[in-house]
Chains A and B, each alone.
Chain A
Amino acid sequence: MDLDAYRIASEPYYRGIGAEVGQFGAAYAARLPVMLKGPTGCGKTRFIEHMAWKLGRPLVTVSCHEDMTASDLVGRLLLDPSGTVWSDGPLTLAVRYGAICYLDEIVEARQDTTVVIHALTDDRRVLPLEKKGELVQAHPDFQLVISYNPGYQSVLKDLKESTKQRFCALDFGYPDPSVETEIVASEAGIDLPLAHQLVQIARRSRNLRGQGLNEGASTRMLIHAGALIREGLALPEACQLALILPITDDPDMRDALANAVAACA
């Protein structure tokens, strides 16, 4: 079985903000597992897509959630008319056929789930399928990548120390205003001065991080706002739709943000 469905056909837009492309390339060459850290919407997923395209590997993405069990990752026994059959989970697929497996927001998954990756992320590079009684040796091209948002996790949800220490890490932040302006302009298809205004607005919202907002407006939100403006909405309206209303339900914060938008425009 090949993983053609998981291959990325055309180059995803990615504007490098530092040396991360080269660094990731080195980690892949050594087949080291990588952890991408950073706030939501700053480009972690886009980065890994770009790297998978660049390295020519299929990319299996799993969005982790609270109810995820180990069998959601490795696979499970299913029933068919003659009895039970084994069905590989996404992680097993990637391990067998040599893809990059990207576990998005890994801490959302229950802690007992994440230990299945332990044997894969040290020099053994194996995945034991206990239920099936099989030990899958990882394909030489296989690499495990996880993402991790240090901002909003609570004390309850943190990676185990034994998990953390298996990974190399790349830290992502919001790009510099000039770079972010470029990204927003290119992704939303708007002109640079408008993108600059949006980036200024985002900066105001990021000032409120921890002061009533859990997180400031992400680059992704700016792109959404830009796209709405391109479709004909006015700037304050687009910011209301794409930034303010999604980010908070607190009327005081909404009011403060709306006025900050007005101040920037």
Chain B
Amino acid sequence: MPEHVRAAFPGEWLAPWLRALRKIEGAGYGAPLEAAFRTAGPSCAEIVGPEPAIDMADFLSAVTIKAGRRAGEALCAAAPAVARRFGDGPRFRSWLSLMQRFAAMAPESVLPVIERLESLLQRVNLSGLEAWLLAGVRIAGADRERRAAFFRMESPDAERLLDREAGETGFFDMERRMKAFMTALHGIHAPLREAPPGRHDGSQRRAGYGDGIIRMPASFPGFRGAQAEALYRASLAHISAHMRHSGARFPVGKLKPLQIAVVSLIEDARVEALAMREMPGLKRLWLPFHIAQSSGAMTAPSLFARLSRALIDPDFEDIDGWVRKGRDMFHAAADRIEDPGISRAIGNLLGNDLGQMRVQFNAKTYAVQPPYRDDNAGLWEPDPDMTPPEDTEAVVVESARIRPSEEDEPDRQREGDQPPDDTQRARSRPAEDPDTGIPVATYPEYDYQAGTERPDWTTVVEYPPQLGDPRFAQDVLERHADLAGRISALVRAARVGRPVRLRRQAEGETLDLDACIDALAGLRAGDMPDPRVYQIMARRSRDLAVAVLLDVSKSTGDAVPGGTVLDLEREAVVLLAEAMGGMGDPFSIAAFSSNGRDELRYHRIKDFGEPPGRRIGAALAGLRPGYSTRLGAALRHAGASLASQPSFRRLILLVTDGEPSDVDCPDPAYLVEDARRAVQRLSAEGIDVFCVGLGARNTEQEARIFGQCGFVQIERIEALTEKLPALYLRLTA
């Protein structure tokens, strides 16, 4: 027994350690793993104490069984370093338990993760690591290949989510206020997108713009907190100055990369000078990033950075003749500064000088300095040989994203100042085709295990309704004539007696005679009369908007007495629409199903503004069952359309036959918890959700999602046609 083992497991701890060691040896994992554990155990015990090191045997077994011997060996190899990093038992043990859980979720990825553990833990703490691992498992769903790629850090999501967990201020945490800042400066509102990883490594990331879209790196490594924020702000101010002042793209012509870089540099300075003429405070935003020194080397990047600084900073004196010449030419053209042509003229001359000075320039490694400036790709006509790395679908999502309601009703008075991205929006929206949906919005999704909402996790794709039998609604109403009659009687009953007389009011249109007599009697008796002697007729108005949301997932194709579940849903909704139309409540009808998180299929059957009519019946008749039930995303989307309704009470009436599920969610509790979260969020916005569950089932989940009073179970599905309208009237009375 070597001495250091005795030291690591003093006294009574030695026996349990030997037992643990025997356990691993007896399990037959092979000699290398046994040896690794024999080494790792004492090393860990020295740092975090003997007990966690002994417990490690169980975790090690679990990981090895799931993920294989090599993963087990790697775990042993990594353990001492982890122990040193955490330095205490509880956190070391949490790490082991995390690895065990991760091995159960993604066995193939344990090895790559453990191999990167050191660098991962340098960036995130233990809970950040856990959140990142869970995010990776979620993002890939059931796709093992994708999951493996994520944990090998080959997918861009991996880097981005790690940045987020690392708490580096990512751009998309502050997107909204940055966007507002840019709009404020120049009245420009362009969609912002995450820049693709691109050709530069992390330290050289630059923003870019073009075709009405601005691309921002998810983070600028090395800039944190307030500094990162200032950098983003400076960057957006710079890009919006381009968009405002640069005009049409420059033709590349026969310009060499060096000349392009110099012309771009002058143009950068020109648009900044123009912007600062209007808003002098921008200088305070930009200047701190110009840190070039006059003494730099005579390389192109250094000279460029110095010239950039010389053009914006009047106090900067450069010894270099080229830099001075550039500055003097720029200042000499000050009276023509509105003309983009001067950038070309000055840039060409300076570029030629550099050529004669034989200064080396490598276009492949060159990154514009300072970092807030964009890559200037948006300034030049695109190279026809290069295909832009756009995934058009994401562009569509961004440009069609649901905007606040005030934009939905543009003010006719001010149509003049159209947002510049409108043409873009129109162009990128594909023609409506019943087979291809249009991605219209993205929503967050809640992960109960990580306890966070992942932004933009689900994408809603809207499909135009496929019209079925146009006489469908009429047929239903004829077939259920007695029911329709009873419903309209109920509607009439609910509508009568709506104005009410409110007596003894402090203000009102007429005197309340009884109150007047009392008051006068009081006066004569020498009392203080009650001044509330008026009455008013007030309408107890129904102010209610309803969004009906139908689940048309695959299971609604199941046969029940009287047709399929979907058939009954359709009929019930026809009658419900009769009742809602009769009450005069604004309502919308939509159906949904889902096919993974990227495709929440949403069919609008009737919008709020649309008058109830024959199209509803036809659109209902055209619904087909299919796919799964991603409830939370559907609720969020229905809520977003309902949120713009001015009604006092807003209600989502959900008709569903099953529990939330989707192809990429193996964990049944995940979507339930997400739906619960969605319901809570909507409720906070003043939108109630009521669920009509179909079929005899356990109601525990409904109660969990919608609350005890938030749902009703209709066991005999064939009674739905009758019950749904009646339920609606009772619910909204």
Contacts and interface: CB of A to CB of B under 8 A. Distances in A.
A177 B284 CA distance: 24
B508 A207 contact: no
A212 interface: yes
Contact of A253 (B174, B177, B279, B510): B177
B574 interface: no
Interface in B607-626: none
Contact of A260 (B185, B410, B411, B646): B185
B511 A77 contact: yes
Contacts of A211: 179-180, 183, 189, 407
A263 interface: yes
B171 to A, nearest CB: 14
A154 B533 CA distance: 34
B411 A151 contact: yes
Nearest to B182: A256
Task: Sort chain A's interface into a size bin.
Answer: 35 or more
Interface stretch (B250-258, B516-524, B718-726): B516-524
Interface in B389-441: 404, 406-407, 409-411, 413-414
Contact of B507 (A69, A151, A204, A261): A69
Contacts of A205: 184
Contact of A257 (B184, B410, B646): B184
Interface in A241-265: 251-253, 255-257, 259-265
A154 B184 contact: no
Contact of A210 (B280, B407, B507, B646): B407
Given A69-B536, A210-B410, A259 B181 contact: yes
A1 interface: no
A79 interface: yes
A70 interface: yes
B646 A262 contact: no
Given A69-B509, A210-B410, A212-B404, A253 B180 contact: yes
A179 interface: no
What is the predominant secondary structure among interface residues of chain B facing chain A? helix
B285 A262 contact: yes
A155 B180 contact: no
A178 interface: no
B180 A256 contact: yes
A214 B404 CA distance: 11
B112 interface: no
A208 B184 contact: yes
Interface string B214-242: 00000000000000000001000100000
B181 A156 contact: no
Interface string A58-95: 00000000010111100011010101100000000000
A160 interface: no
A22 interface: no
Contacts of B178: 256
B11 interface: no
B285 A263 contact: yes
A209 B419 CA distance: 12
A67 B233 CA distance: 45
Interface string A216-252: 0000000000000000000000000000000000011
Interface in B352-410: 404, 406-407, 409-410
B468 interface: no
Contacts of A76: 509
B233 A259 contact: yes
B187 A207 contact: yes
Contacts of A84: 511, 516
A211 B406 CA distance: 8
B583 interface: no
A209 B282 CA distance: 22
A150 interface: yes
B278 interface: yes
A76 B534 CA distance: 10
A112 to B, nearest CB: 10
A67 B536 CA distance: 12
Contacts of A156: 646
A54 interface: no
Contacts of A83: 520
A200 interface: yes
B320 to A, nearest CB: 31
A210 B508 CA distance: 38
Nearest to A213: B180
Contacts of A200: 278-279
A131 interface: yes
Contact of B406 (A171, A210, A253, A264): A210
Nearest to A251: B177
B356 to A, nearest CB: 40
A259 B226 CA distance: 13
B486 interface: no
A204 B511 contact: no
Contacts of B507: 67, 69, 71-72
A263 B282 contact: yes
Nearest to A154: B646
Contacts of B200: none
B185 A263 contact: yes
Given A69-B509, A69-B536, A255 B516 contact: no
Contact of A252 (B180, B508, B536): B180
B199 interface: no
Contacts of B28: none
A88 B646 CA distance: 36
Q: Which of A81, A155, A208, A212 has the most CB of B within 10 A?
A: A212
Nearest to B531: A79
B281 interface: yes
Given A77-B511, A84-B511, A210-B410, A262 B281 contact: yes
Contacts of B279: 200, 204, 263-264
A249 B404 CA distance: 16
A256 B281 contact: no
Contacts of B730: none
A12 to B, nearest CB: 26
Contacts of B174: 252
A204 B507 CA distance: 44
B523 A204 contact: no
B540 interface: no
Interface in B635-674: 646
Q: Which of A72, A79, A83 has the most CB of B within 10 A?
A: A79
25 contacts: A69-B536, A150-B411, A151-B411, A155-B409, A200-B278, A204-B279, A207-B183, A208-B183, A208-B184, A210-B406, A212-B180, A212-B183, A251-B177, A252-B174, A253-B180, A255-B177, A256-B178, A257-B180, A259-B181, A262-B285, A263-B282, A263-B285, A264-B280, A265-B280, A265-B281
Given A207-B186, A257-B184, A263-B237, 6 more contacts: A84-B516, A150-B411, A150-B413, A212-B176, A251-B177, A263-B282
The 4 A-B pairs of least Cβ separation, nearest first, read A256-B180, A252-B177, A207-B187, A256-B181
Interface of B: 174, 176-181, 183-187, 189, 233, 237, 278-282, 284-285, 404, 406-407, 409-411, 413-414, 507-511, 516, 519-520, 523, 529, 533, 536, 646
